[in-house]
Amino acid sequence: MIKYPTGVAPNKGSLRIWFMYRGARMWESLGVSDTPKNRKMAGELRNNIVYQIKTGAFDYKQQFPESPIFKNLDHSQGKAMSMREIATTWLSLKKPELALSTYNSYERRIKITVDMLGENVDVRSIKQEDLLKLRNELLTGFHASGRNYTVEKQGRSVASVNGSMRDLLALFTFAHGNGYITSNPMANIKPLRKSLRKPDPITKEEFPRLIAACSNRQIANFWQIAILTGLRHGEMCALAWEDIDLMAKTITVTRNLTCEGLFTPPKTTASNNRIVCLVDGAISAIRDQMELTRLCPPSSFDFHTREYKEVIPDKKTFVFNPSIHTVNGRSGAHYAVDSIGQSWNTALKRAGMRHRKAYQSRHTYACWSLAAGANPNYVAAQMGHANAQMVFQVYGSWMQENNTEQLALLNQKLNDYVLHMCYSKQAV
């Protein structure tokens, strides 16, 4: 029995293919004989058409200019729908797929771009030119009409703009796939190029100055542990004493605190329930922190899992508790992610150090570990990356700059394996 690729079928000695377009199954005859070679080519053509439809790049008339089916299709501009309506519809259908914090980020970005395009503008009227203008406005923070946006007057970073444009690509792909528009204006807009920034770690000479400049003992412990473990700041804020095993010298990372104040699983699947091994310096800082907060009462909170609408009540004793330094009782039982960045900036200023973003604490852990000769796969696992690819991408050039240290390390490790042989100057 002859086996045909998916979507390919015989038609009176020739071949035809089918694909879904605007919610209906379309059959198109290819006019080629039914041979093994043509069956394979037909399957590849059909796969390509399906991909183009999915990405919003499919042009029916160009692909099948003589098709009687195309001539009978309704080529009107589709159903009238405003940008706000299409965005609301797309977000509501997308919501079950996303964690609550991720959905909130989508919603926030989409609101800004839809407001800039015009929330009552018909989605059918949006052209590629409008989207390119929008991208420039996001970059500069200046609207084409001449007024500044208060959202971010200085403009947004390339990474942020690319993220907003990815949202719009998904939005317009959805609109095209459901027949609201006949073509996707985002289809051929490529992401802006983004330069890879080098990590700017705290040096070993600066480290004691930074810690000494922290405003209190707890903040000093916080940044010591952050730098010596590579934990994300949200993971640090959500860290509980129940996650730490000093006998095994490990931390089990099980939760993250978002900027919105939600307790969620860590950022990536590879980060969830990962075991972080503690170096001696981190253990010393944890033991010091025990004196401050280990006996504090546990706090109740809601844990938002990745499953849609699943919320699990939980109770933990947080390692870092700002209430121990306040007298008015207004502080909660854990730090907010935003406040941690402020403590970092204050410590840098008091120490007279060059400014760096607080996220350099995580980069510092990676750089120090790699310089000490740690396996990149080990570093990736400790930091919650799925593999070492991210480590090589972010720290590859930095690692090359430390070739001298690496050579000294190899000499130290390999000298014991070298067989020293003495040769006389004269041949025997």
Instruction: Say which amino acid occupies 140.
Output: T
Active site residue 395: yes
Please name which of 331, 357, 364 lies closest in space to residue 218, comparing C-alpha atoms: 331
Q: How far apart are the first and last CA of the chain?
A: 78
Question: What is the Cα–Cα distance from 239 to 154, expressed in whole angstroms?
Answer: 35
Greatest extent of the chain over all pairs of C-alpha atoms, in Å:
96
Question: What is the Cα–Cα distance from 9 to 242, expressed in whole angstroms?
Answer: 61
Active site residue 356: no
Question: What is the Cα–Cα distance from 151 to 423, expressed in whole angstroms?
Answer: 75
Catalytic residue from among 233, 304, 362, 363: 362
Question: What is the Cα–Cα distance from 271 to 381, expressed in whole angstroms?
Answer: 8
Catalytic residue from among 156, 334, 363, 385: 385
Question: What is the Cα–Cα distance from 191 to 196, expressed in whole angstroms?
Answer: 15
Task: Give the C-alpha distances (Å, rounded to integers) separating 1 from 4, 34, 37, 38.
Answer: 10, 14, 16, 17
Half-sphere exposure of residue 259: CA atoms within 13 angstroms, side-chain side: 6
Please name which of 89, 63, 61 lies closest in space to residue 75, comparing C-alpha atoms: 61
Question: What is the Cα–Cα distance from 157 to 376, expressed in whole angstroms?
Answer: 29
Catalytic residue from among 267, 350, 359, 378: 267
3 state SS for 381-395:
HHHCCCCCHHHHHHH
Question: What is the Cα–Cα distance from 90 to 112, expressed in whole angstroms?
Answer: 15
Catalytic residue from among 39, 84, 109, 232: 232
Active site residue 106: no
Active site residue 362: yes
**CB within 8 A of 125, min separation 6: which ones?**
none
**CB within 8 A of 38, min separation 6: which ones?**
15, 30, 32
Please name which of 300, 283, 384 lies closest in space to residue 334, comparing C-alpha atoms: 300
Tally of CB atoms within 10 A around 243: 18
Please name which of 350, 342, 354, 360 lies closest in space to residue 398, comparing C-alpha atoms: 360
DSSP per-residue codes, 25-83: EEEEEEEEE--HHHHHHHHHHHHHHHHHHHHT---HHHH-TT-HHHHHS--S--S--BH
Active site residue 385: yes
Q: Hey, what are 215's tokens?
A: 């405003």
For the annotated catalytic residues, the residue numbers are: 232, 267, 362, 385, 395
